[in-house]
Structure 1
Amino acid sequence: MPADSLAALDDRSREIFRRIVESYLETGSPVGSRNLSRILATALSPASVRNVMADLEHMGLIYAPHTSAGRLPTELGLRFFIDSLMQVGDLGGDERKRIENEVMAQGRRSGVETLLTEASQMLSGLSHGAGVVLAAKQDVRLKHVEFVRIEPTRALVVLVGEQGSVENRIIEVPRELPTSAMTEASNYLNAHVLGRTLTEARVELQRLRDVRRREIDELSEKMIAAGFATWSGPREDANTLIVRGMSNLIGDVRALDDLERIRLLFDDLESKTDLIQLLGLAEQGEGVRIFIGSENKLFSLSGSSLVVAPFRDGGDQIVGVLGVIGPTRLNYARVVPAVDYTAQLISQFLSHSRR
């Protein structure tokens, strides 16, 4: 339906349409002409309401789920409502403080991954949908590095970040490598690369190799080179996906009207299908974006909505995306400002943590 046709709706048609959508967002159920005639600001008979509903149905804004039922908004109708009729207010002071307390406090205490987990959990609780956060793994600044032999020819490289994150990699080592070489390699790294990211550490080690070659023996140097070569290699999983509140979707199957779709969503979330597409959705525009039903084929699922916003690091680069997946009858007016504000908070946190 052309946009100018939608814009041409008179006030009475817009009011009836708005009431149908608001009723759907609140209850998930169709609403009939008799009930509408009782709640309209202007007195209209059920017959007059039915005439308007017939026009709205002809325009593709509403439909009857079955014979003699009331009407529900179509995906086109929801898009028209969100773009033209919905009023999105700002979050109140109490809600802002709640989000800050639930999300930012955990981040300051426990680091970025905990911050993102709390954000996902908070958005799930607020929306009664599934809170989703996807982030590129951070090139953390190093606090401690250690090599630990676990087998005669294998060693564990342990990297501890400044915010408490711990990641391990296994490397192959010569059988004749003494424990003293591992200790020396660990001590050398802790003396020269702490506070640097892995990328910065590799550059510094290259510089030190030429300037201070005699500070460590040949075996220790090989140990360091092997460890950092492993960390600089391809990453099988370069993204962190956090999903909280998927059970909310199961609890609202009446609105989605298809449990199989939810199963597909769960399967795709578990396998991290289309993560690059999810990041791409956020990169295509500033602020919050809303995808309704079949507008977005993400997760092999139509009949659901995705409200998503990007967050950035200190270099103003998009490093992740957060949002809510749920039924098309999400409370958009409440979810949109919450997603937007949470993304802003995380961007601020990441910006300050890199200084």
Structure 2
Amino acid sequence: MTADRSPVLRRVVAGLAAAAVLVPLLLLWQTSRTPGRFSVSEAGAFERGSGPRVTTLEGHAGHGGGPAAAATSVDALVAPPGPADVALTLTARAERVELAPGVATDAYTVNGTTPGPTLRAAQGDVVEVRFVNESVAGGATLHWHGIDVPNAADGVAGVTQDAVPAGGSHTYRFVVADAGTFWYHSHQVSHEQVRKGLLGAVVVSPRRDARPVGGPEVARLLDDAVDVPALVHRYGARRTVQGATGDLPVDVPPGTAARVRVINTDNGVLPVWVGGAAFRLLAVDGTDVHGPPEVRDRAVVVPAGGRADLLVVAPADGSA
């Protein structure tokens, strides 16, 4: 009798052991799945923490564990009032653009071009941009990629502002605290609007009294350097630099340096290099590199959304 029950008992024990392993794994898998919908307002209890109190959104307690802080609307989180150092209007449109002779594509332009105009400012400037959505269906915003801005100027539709509908406008106001290479782009349906070219470069020059970290040789070269924004973007299968396919010639006097601000606006990595000459990697993502050495026959890999500033000196004999 005992011998007859042993195979059955072994099967039962094996089944129970397998269930003990598989059931927890199935429960873990189920709880790790991404939900079909997610609402920030339903994310759970607000964590007060133990740090200093900060201004909060309406209806939420301040940081620090005490009573609720005075309610402050996100709309109030802007640069202080007063005259702007840089003021401009950027108008977004849906239109057909020509990338090369005979090659056109449906795109989103800013002030009639894609990429849009390069926004230039100096470190510490107050920037005020009036954004007009002329004909982008579904709404649009502007996000200042890499720039530390107050919440109301961050351009994240549905979080810090409503998307600007076609025919509407919105004013962004912020102080550019850091020098470097940045870019702006839509943050509404961004997988489509960025891909179709609603973007542009931002160049912030350092304060005159800023101490250069590249060293005296780099500082000397930068004094007369030609500043070259190089926003790289792919429209379908065509890669462009500043909206142009093929080569983009830049006139640089012999013996003079060029600061090439490479901006990778696509969703993959971008290797960049200088053929036949040495170069220096001046900055990465808007942060200067300390004492950058000359590099030759090497590539710099720029990640999606990243920036790399290269310093290249034109040959003294004028050769290309």
The TM-score bracket by the shorter chain reads under 0.3
Q: Tell me: higher relative CO, structure 1 or 2? Use CA pairs within 8 A at least 6 residues apart.
A: 1
Greater share of strand = 2
Q: TM-score, normalised by structure 2?
A: 0.25
> Going by fraction, where is helix more abundant, 1 or 2?
1
